[in-house]
Amino acid sequence: MSAIARVIVTVQGRVQGVGYRAACAHRARLLGLRGWVRNRRDGAVEAFLAGPEANVLSMREWMWEGPDSAHVTQLDVATGDHEAPGPGFEIRPTV
């Protein structure tokens, strides 16, 4: 059994208005991850990812690329141990 990872990822660049959240949620569901993704008012996209360590790492690698119309310039990762993942993976409202 692999270790469970929980991280919060903040993505900067051209990541709003380009389908980033929907693509992120789709990819996370394919990887069997739990958590959420949302836009932030500062122009970033933020996601909470929980699942097998290898799947979380794969998702983080994908997040550097995102959908074709996105242009990621920075990706910050912090541990997300303070939050328990809910069921599934959802798109949340902007904060």
Instruction: Give the whole-angstrom CA distance, residue 41 versus residue 32.
Output: 28
C-beta of residue 39 within 8 angstroms of C-beta of residue 16? yes
Q: Which is the catalytic residue, given 21, 27, 34, 55?
A: 21
Q: Is 21 a known active-site residue?
A: yes
Q: Is 39 a known active-site residue?
A: yes
Q: Which is the catalytic residue, given 6, 34, 39, 55?
A: 39
Catalytic residues: 21, 39
